[in-house]
Chain A
Amino acid sequence: MRSDVNIHIQREKCYVCGICIERCILDNLRMYLAPCRAACPIHMNCQGYVRLIAQGKEEEAAREARKDLPFAGIIGRVCTRPCEDKCERKPVDGEAVHIRALKRYLADNQQDLIHEAALVPKESGKKVAVVGSGPAGLMVAYELAVKGHAVTVFDSASEPGGMLRWGIPAFRLPGAEISYAVGMLEKMKVRFHTGHALGKEMETERLEREWDALLLATGGGSALALKIPGEDLPGVYQGLDLLRQVREGKTPPLGKSAIVIGGGNTAVDAALTCRKLGAEEVHIICLEERSQMPAFAAEVEEALEEGIKIQNGWGPRTILPHGQGGLRLELSRCLSIFDKEGRFSPRLDNFRGLSPSAESVIVAIGQKADLSGLPGDLQGASGGNPMADPLTLQTSRDKIFAAGDLVTGPRSVIEAMAQGREAAISIDRFLQGETLRWGRAYWDGTCITDFPIDRSGAIVRPRAVLPRLPVQSRDTHQEVEKTLGTKEAREEAERCLNCGRPGEVNRTCWYCLPCEIECPVDALEVRLPYLVR
């Protein structure tokens, strides 16, 4: 039960940095964790930096964001936003605070602070090989470099970034943002070796021998094939291949019309890419109904906005040649997608229809784990994802850890980064001969997450809308969404209800005052416990 009689917090000033809780010598204070922060896989203090923006303290906001995340420019553009899903603003006016946009606002306007290379302490003398430079690998590299370990990141592709570069189009995440991240890490003495693939240029066994620890973060694998007749006809491409070629500066000859098979984000991104490359007719054909599509709703809207047509509830049977260099799909209606056990097992009916013809067909139906470079004992059951302990991310070999899509299957960027952070904690402990399993819960597991939220002071105000390029100006390389202006950012930040706070829970206060002294904004006052004052 929280008491405010003794410890008084000025809520307008407090940005929940948590220092008072950490410094209290009698463990009197606890964190009432804002729902957004609780939902975030890395538990960013989103409430904190949003509130600081609302107060006009943008440098402090950038510093606070940077405490938890060295990649705000990336996450501020592509995060799946579990925080916003839980935002308590929604019951007020139906829309969450635009937390992601505010993070991006800081990254774009406080670049020096957001991209600043962290100080690297004395070298530990240990060296770690990270295989894969996607979000998980980049996070591991950062967290280990910050502890003084020598990190080298290997990647099979020609440039670092993993799915950030090859799976997300530049019109969502500019290459520059990935370069900032890599540049920051290089300043922290992280080394990058591209063009090194596991199983080709290097072997797991050798890495295990020559390095003090090894982190595998090679991603969700290769694109799934449809396995239908006609898939090998000219003009049929894999969605991920298309995206990669565009990033490499090539333009595959897609023609004036394209059909994209698949209902997820890659399918939508591939369709948008086709449009931006000049295709006039672009169709997305997928098994799912509109509301079931795995792609983000906002991105589906974007596709529709750019004139892409979506045919829901169809499954392809065959790809057929049609006319001069054209293609057509033979389709059946999709009756169901998942079986009784929830496994992906689509059932199609017997009706066979034909799609419009198109000059290219893009397949974007998902990824399967690519474990070709891994020794058998690291691979999961029946060749599935590698087994890594869910708590420590250590594999069956002590020195080898795994993180990201390689372990979980395709998930979000932020989840991959969260895995990267956990793997880095494990690796650092491993290198020091420490116990891996102890004390892994966030903040000793002593945050309070179930408490009433006061919405009484909230004024209804619509959520800010990010300015976007007009449709006709859009191409494959310019960011479609622009960042918020200063006034809009501040007004959006003011929508935050400031849900979380520290509070006196244990009634062990000795009124010694370090909590007060340590508060960076003088928001906390010790009034003395009622029984003694």
Chain B
Amino acid sequence: MEVRELKADILIIGGGSGGCLAAHRALEINPNLKVVIFEKGDIKYSGSIARGMDALNIVAIPNFTTPELYVESSNLQCAGVLDAPPSYEMARRSFDLLKKLEGWGVYFPQDEKGNYRTLQYHPIGNFLTAMEEPDLKVIIARKAEEKGSLVVNRTMGLRLLLDDGRAAGAVGIQVRTGDLVVWPRRAVILASGGTARFGLPNSGYLYGTFDYPGNTGDGYVMGFQAGASLTGMEYTRRVNLIKDVNIPLLAITITRGGRMMDIFDEVVMEWNCHDQTQANQAVAAGKGPLRIRVSHLPEEVIREIESILFSTERPVQERFFKRRGVDFRQRDIELWPTENQLCGGHGMSGLVVNEKAETAVPGLYAAGDVACVSKGHLTGAFVFGEIAAEQATRFIAYRSSPRIDAAQIGSVREKIARRGSRKGAGVDVRDLEFKVRRLINDYVISPKNAYKLNRWLEWAERFEREIEEEVSVSNGHGLSKVMEVEHIIQCATFSARAALERKESRWGNAHQRTDFPQKDDQNWLCHVDVRRGKYGEMIVSRRPLVREIPPGGAR
């Protein structure tokens, strides 16, 4: 196994939305920095926005909406469990972000008066701002590379290196060959996404997830092992999306007059799509599959819906509908609950960060779905990518290069060598992943109870043993898949432990406990954090909310 080493100033793990903006921002501040991006896929299209996004979900447009209103709205969405400063900071910078993207050629439609097109996606306030840019990822990846960052594709982060408790780089693995990469760094930004491959989708196809399947919670695990705290891991999120193919469409259809209906043709969602409660209740009561109907809308609205859905974000749905004989004018769109995911952007799961994108580990920052800026979506990824870069460049200005502990690298090498050593007729990695994710469905997601959650903990230990003793790997690709499954298992354990701790139900089907069916603000209006103890054990604790927006914003 060959090991590649390269020194640089800042390492960014993940070349998606957060990572690309972070890289560009760091080099904008100091063009002489050596910035390296680990990217598990190929950076040109990788991540959740492979074919762009049809909106920037959160923009506080001056003279229209305010960051304060956003924090208020977000508080409602998060049932009170929200730290105000990071969300405030994100909303405060959101309009500048829009302008920056616009300057890069990203298209935000405007009306004849020059107003951006906004829709209500939140309990209060029209923050969702239309953006029609299938090439969004191509644009930001090019910006990051042209500014001078070195992109290392096909490389997955495995473990952060520490120097006296400070982030000192990382060890990664080349996902095709299984070779290791070691990057000593003076600061690390984790931007590796959430755990999209978490629960098993109803199709049974491992990669048929709603969010980018390359996200397997690598950053959650790396951050945890380095000493950072995770929060909201009990928030196991699922939504009702296009059945079997798990593609989003609510924001585009519902906000334009589409109706979500149950089998009795009762409308369960109309005009506002932020609250899934009624829809989820209908499904739980057996009144699904839910359907979205747009056939009643005028032809030009249907055309507009089609033109957005078939060009941006997940354009493959055009051929999906065609194969199934679904013309929106005649047939409804069938919905089904997606698989569950852990995600800081769509949900509330992630590394604890303050408004400076700092984690508890000096020199370690987090941005995007890997961080918890609750429901920050794409805006959160972009803004916190920039914040992380600003803070990281400041941090390294006063720090010397870290010392690398060969023993830390050695232990990763040794583990990889063990994983790759059993070839031949053992358990196939795909079967392992299928079973792990099926059991996550059985035990870790709502409706939850102590019995199920504890069963998961037993299964997790069993899976770890099986990985050591029975799973065989035939090539570099298989080796990286085993590492991904290990991360998925770890994330499920974070989730189960946090869910056991939060003895209440909150956030609808994201955390619903049959044995504690009521919301309990008296005891549980707080965060539930998971962090690593001195002996590697998992410590679960409560953390009070930060409700105040710092005066004059956060600086």
A441 contact set on B, CB distance < 8 A: 177
A25-B214 contact given A438-B3, A512-B316, A528-B319, CB 8 Å threshold: yes
Question: A441 to B154, alpha carbons, bound, how many Å?
Answer: 15
Question: A133 to B430, alpha carbons, bound, how many Å?
Answer: 52
Q: Does A368 contact B (CB under 8 A)?
A: no
Question: A441 to B179, alpha carbons, bound, how many Å?
Answer: 11
Q: How far is the CB of A110 from chain B (nearest CB, A)?
A: 29
- Tell me if A526 and B316 are in contact (CB < 8 A): yes
Question: A433 to B475, alpha carbons, bound, how many Å?
Answer: 29
Q: Does A439 contact B (CB under 8 A)?
A: yes
Residue of B nearest to A528 (CB): B320
A24 contact set on B, CB distance < 8 A: 41-42
Question: A444 to B155, alpha carbons, bound, how many Å?
Answer: 12
Q: Interface residues of A: mostly helix, strand, loop or mixed?
A: loop
- Tell me if A444 and B205 are in contact (CB < 8 A): no
Contact pattern, B 8-46, Cβ under 8 Å of A = 1, otherwise 0? 000000000000000000000000000000000110111
B319 contact set on A, CB distance < 8 A: 527-528
Q: Does B541 contact A (CB under 8 A)?
A: no
Can you offer 9 A-B residue contacts whose CB atoms are under 8 A?
A24-B42, A439-B174, A440-B2, A445-B476, A446-B176, A507-B207, A513-B50, A531-B203, A532-B205
Closest 9 CB pairs of A and B: A25-B41, A438-B4, A531-B205, A514-B45, A512-B50, A25-B46, A444-B176, A511-B316, A435-B4
- With A512-B316, A514-B45, A533-B324 known, 14 other A-B pairs at CB within 8 A are A25-B45, A27-B176, A27-B477, A446-B177, A510-B213, A512-B314, A513-B315, A513-B316, A514-B51, A528-B316, A529-B207, A531-B204, A531-B208, A532-B244
A22 contact set on B, CB distance < 8 A: 42
* Contact of A532 (CB < 8 Å), options: B6, B175, B208: B208
Question: A509 to B203, alpha carbons, bound, how many Å?
Answer: 14
Q: How far is the CB of A93 from chain B (nearest CB, A)?
A: 37
Q: Does A172 contact B (CB under 8 A)?
A: no
- Tell me if B45 and A435 are in contact (CB < 8 A): no
Contact pattern, A 174-195, Cβ under 8 Å of B = 1, otherwise 0? 0000000000000000000000
- Tell me if A26 and B2 are in contact (CB < 8 A): no
Q: Does A23 contact B (CB under 8 A)?
A: yes
- Tell me if B2 and A508 are in contact (CB < 8 A): no
- Tell me if A23 and B44 are in contact (CB < 8 A): yes
Question: A510 to B246, alpha carbons, bound, how many Å?
Answer: 11
Q: Which of B42, B206, B324, B476 has the most CB of A within 10 A?
A: B42
- Tell me if A439 and B2 are in contact (CB < 8 A): yes
- Tell me if B213 and A508 are in contact (CB < 8 A): yes
Contact pattern, A 491-519, Cβ under 8 Å of B = 1, otherwise 0? 00000000000000011111111100000
Residue of A nearest to B196 (CB): A510
Interface residues of A, Cβ cutoff 8 Å to B: 22-27, 433-435, 437-441, 444-446, 506-514, 526-529, 531-533
Question: A25 to B246, alpha carbons, bound, how many Å?
Answer: 18
Q: How far is the CB of B483 from chain A (nearest CB, A)?
A: 14
A512 contact set on B, CB distance < 8 A: 45, 50-51, 314, 316
- Tell me if A27 and B244 are in contact (CB < 8 A): no
- Tell me if B207 and A23 are in contact (CB < 8 A): no
Residue of A nearest to B317 (CB): A511
Q: How far is the CB of A138 from chain B (nearest CB, A)?
A: 28
Q: How far is the CB of A204 from chain B (nearest CB, A)?
A: 29
Residue of A nearest to B48 (CB): A512
Question: A444 to B476, alpha carbons, bound, how many Å?
Answer: 10
Question: A246 to B144, alpha carbons, bound, how many Å?
Answer: 56
Q: How far is the CB of A309 from chain B (nearest CB, A)?
A: 55
Q: Does B219 contact A (CB under 8 A)?
A: no
Residue of B nearest to A391 (CB): B2
Residue of B nearest to A437 (CB): B2
- Tell me if A433 and B207 are in contact (CB < 8 A): no
A509 contact set on B, CB distance < 8 A: 207
B6 contact set on A, CB distance < 8 A: 433-435
Question: A513 to B7, alpha carbons, bound, how many Å?
Answer: 35
Residue of B nearest to A22 (CB): B42
- Tell me if A26 and B176 are in contact (CB < 8 A): no
Q: Does B466 contact A (CB under 8 A)?
A: no
Question: A292 to B4, alpha carbons, bound, how many Å?
Answer: 45
- Tell me if A26 and B4 are in contact (CB < 8 A): no
Q: Which of A435, A511, A529, A531 has the most CB of B within 10 A?
A: A511
